[in-house]
Structure 1
Amino acid sequence: RQSMYLIVGAKGFLGSYLIKNILSMTKEDVVAADVNYVETEQNPRLSWQNCDITKEKDVEKLREYLKEKNDIKVIYLPVYFNVNKNPEVDKQAWNVNILSFARFLDIFDKVSTFYGISTDMLYKEDRDIPYTEHDEITPMNDYARHKAVEERMLEAKGYNIVRLPVMMGPSLSLVKKHFYDDIVSNLRAGKSMEFFTDSWRSMIDFDTVSQILVKLMETPSAHQYPIVNIAGDEALSKYEFALRLADKYGLDKNLVIPISMDNDTKIWTEKRPKKILLDNSLVKQILNLKELKIKI
């Protein structure tokens, strides 16, 4: 039986890398589903489907398109992140993250593997010791609370979850640049940028995450673990990351300005933890990896 991949929310940063790596690491076809996409990768094994997951008719059309397929491997990426505490946006976030997700989970009956994406924001307590998959969660905001609900739904269906930290990397999209690209273009233009020196995450790059996720999906013994962290070995601040990026491209490190979270009221109105790290020993054990370093 010919299996195939379905990437839902495929036009984003991680989705673009997943398309690239599934096509290069496997022989399988890929269906990429999203709205308002721009096709960047021309490949006979890749087909795009327009799908707004909040619209039942779109999801039904996608189900109809895939009904002859027997062995579907799903990676589900859509998320709505409300930073402004706007009640209307709250409603939309709940619709995307919870209601539409629940409906989507119930519609496909020929799924062999299903991975959803979760976050290190499930923890709000500062800790020097990395959080394992079994540590009790304490979601830091509405987005994380939604992710906690999504995780329970995935577990109820017998599906899998990967928890991810802050991810970096050049955008593969023609229409949307990543923070990584902004740093490079600003430093190239001689513009200074401020970065926190005292906020640390198990930062990793999109390319590595997507490669690891494909390997997990292609490794049947990995599916017995409901939750797996994919994270870098190092505790990195954005300041340290920006310095390394400047180094890589031969740019002026003096344009990388250090600032402290303690003096900041502009970016975050609510208190945020300084150090949230994810333990990556399980994924290294499953895939027999010696290290997991961020590619700058």
Structure 2
Amino acid sequence: MINEFIKSKGKAKSFIFLYKYEMYLIIGANGYVGAYTIKNILEKTTENIIAVDKKIDLVNKNDRVLWVQCDITNHEDIVNLNKLVTNKSETVKIIYLAAYHAPDQVLANPKIAWNINITALSDFLNTLDNVQCLFYSSTEMVYAPGNLSTKFNEDALKQPINAYGKNKVLAEALVLGRGYNVVRFPFLIGKSILKEKKHFYDIIVETICGGKTIEMFKDAYKTALDFDTATKVLVDLAERYSHEMPTVLNISGDEVISKYEIGLRIAQKYNCSSDLIVPISMHEDNTIFTAERADCILLDNSCVKKVLELDEIKLQL
């Protein structure tokens, strides 16, 4: 499929990528984080983007973004993607977001998860050339359950309690072994900017604005961030990349907040009654998730703030 794209587009006079220079390659671009990453690259830089995903039928079009359909589990697709990138850029900044990431799905489909999260990633890392830098998106779930008095820094012991977290620990090792960089995100939330694809944030807004109640965990504590703030930090890291940069960085908010408290803030923003956000307990209601999840994992973001000379990183709802 990518090979056919190269043949059909390579000689087009109207095609924006007419000469080689630095650019971005985003793997797994058609998701919530991917959409905001593209938004912030377009707003904060002048560079063009090759955006890659398995499904690109409902993407937002932009003259600086070349959308390429690619199955990262297909070796031929990865080889052809490498040819395309090499043809269009001297060096490329890669942001790797692709993952089989829902813990319940990873538990239910371990072979599919392994193929996407480990095997395909390894093939990708061993195929792509001309890489200026690569940032791999990981998760707070690589850590063990914590408590309200402890924030995990980048060197803290990794002790995941579910299969998804274990996948991510192995994936991080692959990325770091090739000399690239890892960023660990907390619970992320925000308004979807994807066509016809709602996030939990949008469901909360629609529910409470319609006068109905929604349940949220009062004892699930996070150093949460919104998609926009998290990806602004990520793009800033890519723009300021140097070999001296720490290879693992936590991108998280300063504040410790429960999911219930997040719901209350969303209700306040949309002038809805706080009574519509109903607190429930992870310990009392264990029917929502099948995979084990920690009720409290807090990330220490002091390192990334030092790298980017930031005074604060705040959750914006």
TM class by shorter chain equals: over 0.9
Aligned pair 1:146/2:144, yes or no? Answer: no
Instruction: Say whether residues 1:26 and 2:45 are aligned partners.
Output: yes
Q: Distance in 2 between matches of 1:294 and 1:259?
A: 22
The answer to whether the 8 Å contact 1:216/1:222 transfers is: no
The aligned amino acid for 2:96 is Y
Residue 151 (structure 1) shift = 0.7
Give me the whole-angstrom Cα distance separating, in 2, the residues matched to 1:23 and 1:164. 22
1:247 matched to 2:246: no
Structure-2 residue corresponding to 1:6: 25
After TM superposition, the structure 1 stretch with the greater mean CA deviation from structure 2, 213-222 or 125-134, is: 213-222
Does the Cα contact within 8 Å between 2:162 and 2:293 map onto a contact in 1? no
Deviations 1:67-91 (A, max 9, x none): 222110000111113515666x211
CA distance in 2 between partners of 1:109 and 1:2 (Å) = 14
Partner of 2:303: 282
Q: Which moved more, 1:117-126 or 1:8-17?
A: 117-126
Note if contact 1:217-1:223 (Cα within 8 Å) is conserved in structure 2: no
Q: Offset of 1:243 from its aligned partner?
A: 0.4
Unpaired runs of at least 5, structure 2:
1-19
Post-superposition offset of 1:229: 0.2
Say which of 190, 195, 215 aligns to 2:216. Answer: 195
Match runs of 1:59-138 below 5 Å: 59-68=78-87, 69-81=89-101, 82-84=103-105, 89-127=109-147, 128-138=149-159
Deviations 1:208-266 (A, max 9, x none): 11110010011134752110000001111110000000000111211111111221121
Query: Over residues 258-296 of structure 1, what are the superposed CA-to-partner deviations in whole Å (9 max), with x where a residue is unaligned?
Result: 111221121134553322100000011111111111001
User: How far does residue 66 in structure 1 lie from its aligned partner after superposition?
Assistant: 1.3
CA distance 1:84–1:50, shift in 2 (3 Å): closer
**CA, structure 1 residues 7+290, in 2 after alignment: closer, same or farther (shift >3 Å)?**
same
**Aligned-partner SS, 2:104:** coil
In the superposition, relative to structure 1, how do residues 257 and 160 fare at CA in structure 2: closer, same or farther (>3 Å)?
same
User: What is the rounded CA distance, in whole Å, between the counterparts of 2:270 and 2:70 in structure 1?
Assistant: 38
Question: Paired residue for 2:56, among 13, 32, 37?
Answer: 37
- 1:161-240 matches, within 5 Å, as 161-221=182-242, 224-240=245-261
How many residue pairs end up in the alignment? 295
SS of 1:74 mapped into structure 2: strand
Q: What percent identity do the matched residue pairs reach? A: 40
Alpha-carbon contact 1:232-1:294 (below 8 Å) kept: yes
Per the TM alignment, residue 58 of structure 1 is displaced from its structure 2 partner at its CA by 1.5
Secondary structure (helix, strand or coil) at the match of 1:224 reads: coil
Deviating beyond 4 angstroms after TM superposition, the runs of 4 or more aligned structure 1 residues are 84-87
Residue 264 of structure 1 aligns to a residue in which SS? Answer: coil
Alpha carbons of 1:251 and 1:136: their partners in 2 closer, same or farther (altered >3 Å)?
Answer: same
Partner deviation per Cα, 1:105-150 (whole Å, 9 max, x = no partner): 0111200010001110111232221100011110121111110011
Q: Given residue 153 of structure 1, which amino acid in structure 2 is its aligned partner? A: L
Query: Does residue 1:258 correspond to 2:279, yes or no?
Result: yes
Residues 104 and 289 in structure 2, CA contact (< 8 A), matched pair in contact too: no
User: Structure 1's 252 and 230: CA in aligned 2 closer, same or farther, altered over 3 A?
Assistant: same
Q: Which stretch has the larger CA shift, 77-86 or 46-55? A: 77-86
In structure 2, give the amino acid aligned to 1:108.
L
- Where in structure 1 are there 5+ consecutive unaligned residues? none
TM-score by length of 2: 0.89
Q: CA deviation at 1:154?
A: 0.9
> Among 76, 87, 94, which residue is 1:57 paired with?
76
Amino acid of the structure 2 residue aligned with 1:295: Q
Q: Is the 8 A contact 1:16 1:173 kept in 2?
A: yes
Aligned-CA RMSD value: 1.5
Compared CA separation, residues 17 and 126, structure 1 to 2 (3 A):
same
| TM-score for both structures, normalised by structure 1 | 0.96
Tell me how far apart the structure 2 counterparts of residues 156 and 270 of structure 1 sit (CA, whole Å). 29
